[in-house]
Every structure is written in structure tokens, then in C-alpha cells.
Structure 1
Amino acid sequence: MLTKDKVKELIDHMPETFSVDDLVERVFLLEKIESAQKEIENGEGIDWEDLKKEMDSWLK
């Protein structure tokens, strides 16, 4: 879950003018990154070798 401080920091690094779409996109990306990091910390991620095998199967 995001905190106000993280969202404020995100906004501080944006240009002086930006669209609401840009802000929503970046907040969404930040939330997805944090969610993925927690999954990895909990051992829920996919091993790189397993991912490569899965991707190879997509291309067949």
C-alpha cells in the first residue's frame, strides 16, 4: 500500500505542469512496483529460469 509521503515524493519529481493521466499512471506504476517487491520478499516471485521457459512456450 502506498503512503502519502511516497505519493508526495512522486509529485515532487514531476514537472511543474502535468496531466492527471500522467499522475495516475505514475501512481499506478509505483503501486505495482511496491506490490511486486513485497511478493519477491515473500518468496512469491517467479524464478528467472522458469520465466524464460514459460516465455519460450508462448512463442511456439
Structure 2
Amino acid sequence: MITKEKLKEHIEKFPDTFSMDELIERLIFIDKLEKRIQQSQSGEAISEDELKEDLQKWFE
């Protein structure tokens, strides 16, 4: 979930002109980014070391 304030911050960084497709892509990206940040802050994300271990197992 994203707040209006966070969305406003992101929109301020948009170029002066953009297509609807670009807007939708950016909104999807912002949503995913905010979800990952929230997951990381709540301890739901795995560490980089855990990720490396998991990837190494995949390629064994």
C-alpha cells in the first residue's frame, strides 16, 4: 500500500510529459518498490547472504 504523500514524492520526479503506458509502468514499479521496502522493514525479506546460498543451491 502506498500513501498519497509517497505518491506525490514520486510524481514530482516524473518528467514533464509522459504517456499513459509510462505512467502505468511507473506506478506498478512504485507499488512493487514500496512493498519490498515494507517487507524489508518488517523482516520479511531475506538477506543477501541467504539469497546467495539459495542461488548457489539452484546451480548445483
Normalised TM-score (structure 2): 0.76
% identical equivalent positions: 38
Q: 2:58 & 2:26 partners in 1: Cα distance? A: 29
Aligned to 2:5: 5
| Structure 1 segments (4+ residues) deviating >3 Å | none
What CA RMSD, in Å, does the superposition of the two structures yield over aligned residues? 1.6
Normalised TM-score (structure 1): 0.76
> What 5-or-longer segments of structure 2 have no aligned partner?
none
Number of residue pairs matched? 60
Aligned to 2:54: 54
Greater Cα offset, 2-11 or 29-38: 2-11
Pairwise mapping of residues 9-48 of structure 1 onto structure 2 (< 5 A)? 9-48=9-48
